[in-house]
Structure 1
Amino acid sequence: WSYRTRAQGATALHRIGRLYRSRGRLEAALNHLTEAMKLYEAVGDTRGWAGVCDDMGRAYWLAGSLRDGLRLLHKAAQLRERDGDRTGLATTLTNLGILSMTGGSLERAKAYLERGVSLRREGRSPHGLLESLNALGALLLTSGEQEAAVAAMEEAYELSKRVGNRRMQGMLQNNLGETLIKSARLNEGETLLYKAVESAGRLGDHNLLSDASRNLAIAARQRNDRDRALKWAKRAVAAAQESDITRVRATAMTTLADVLSDEDDHDAANHAFTRAAQLWVDANDRSGLSETLQAHAAFHMRLGDTKAADELLARHEQLLRKRKTAEIPKSE
């Protein structure tokens, strides 16, 4: 191939890979992105190389490989720092924050995300700022800083409406709705979540539909409306079956298990908890697995099965020790 042909080929493969990733077809995405990376490296296109490392990092994480995802993102950060690409670096820092958060390293995640938001504010990309604020809001919610989380997501949601980014608007309807529910603002949260369900239908986004349905199940459970909680939890699981992203399926199944644990069908709840735990293992997500084990143990405790509860709690404690000692690789 000539230089021009290889450069064009890299761009085309990168574009197709990103499209596959957005649709949750991760194996096809990684195949195309890997070929694009080889061509970018061959022609010396540093920005293209960094960009494809970013996209591959997210794809590997979605496929359940946190370590590979972080390795590629650190490579992207190194390339962008060397190239002086502050706009691209903001993207990489946002991705590093998201992956570090799921790996349980919340302080490091916050540092990445706050720097990412700062760089976005310096630039002229409102779409990029949307993604960084959304990620920061999720981190703040996970850290228990609910007011700050609501503020970040409300800013992002208003911005998404101004710029007409329908994909991010739907995502933020869901994420802000979830944050409001966890802040005991149920009516406002549910209103946004119903909008997110409508957005998911227009966009054909199974991942968004699953997560918005899951959050509506959580809201119904808070209202002690068991029938509605079960309806939305089952809808979340059904939508998640259309996704190739294990984490989406794990999250939906965990919510169904929580809802079933309120019912009299103990076998169904136990099966759902066991299935959810296996999905978290497949997703390589210790945080999700830890929370599911705690909920499963509480379920057994309510049934009077202290032996099963103790076994699950012991496994949970073991995971906590691993999370405290596990070191997420730092950028060189």
Structure 2
Amino acid sequence: MKELLQKIIDENKKYTKKGNVATYIPELKKANRDDLGICIIDMDNNIYQVGSYEKKFTIQSVSKPITLALALMDNGKEKVFSKVGMEPSGDPFNSIMKLETTKPSIPYNPMINAGAIMITSMIKGKNNDEKLERMLKFFRKLSGNENLDINYDVYMCEKQTGDRNRAMAYLLKSEGILEENVEEVLDLYFKQCSIEVTVKDLARIGLNLASHGVDIRNGERLIESDISRIVKTFMVTCGMYDASGQFAINVGIPSKSGVGGGIMATVPNEMGIGVFGPSLDKKGNSIAGVKVLENLSEKLNLSIF
């Protein structure tokens, strides 16, 4: 497996030159666009890592399926989906247009920014400190990494430049969809996106989804099976921004990308995969990372379809 992964990384390294690192969050400009790494953890807990697997990066939108699982555990399906829809939007992840043109103005799904902000607002806790503590505890449990924490430089940068997210949140507040304090919700959301991870962390989370919410190492149930199913379904239909349909055809693995360059993928009953490549395509997905997953899916016949 390690030889196969090395070959796939080597063959797709050239694609890093065809994209660019994210610049709208200035701190993300510091990434090296030539980085490309992968980690796979299978159901026997074998761990395979090659390339830039030791590099840390902020989780960004890869956090969205994880907070969705926590919000569903906190509130149940009925409440969550009264505030956020279940359909692909077909628009960029930071689009604000459909919030204004669709009535009621609930976000189309939890994987776009407006939907993710709503999901973050539903995390339980008596104040933001308690909500953040619960969120970090959940991320650490799923990743198997007790040292997972926030990159405060990225968080401050997100907070200072997050005007578009602020506009979405205030629009949701004006429509009566968002009930919590906007600035507190956004503060928590920016911290959520600034959690620092490696590909191994993403692979472990992906594996816990692949095993339907059960930690294969000790049999502990971390996520209810039905919630795990819902999360994976959103990853298929909406996880790769407005390239999700194309990705489903070419790769066919439930996946979620982030503008930090990470992709978390989950192959039900088989493995979790973490990929890192900060050079992005025009949709905001890791340009070489998508190619790596495409090759891997083809070689190992991983498509769920």
Shorter-chain TM band: under 0.3
Structure in which a larger fraction of residues adopt helix: 1
Larger radius of gyration: 1
For normalisation by structure 1, the TM-score amounts to 0.25
- RCO higher in structure (CA 8 A, sep ≥6): 2
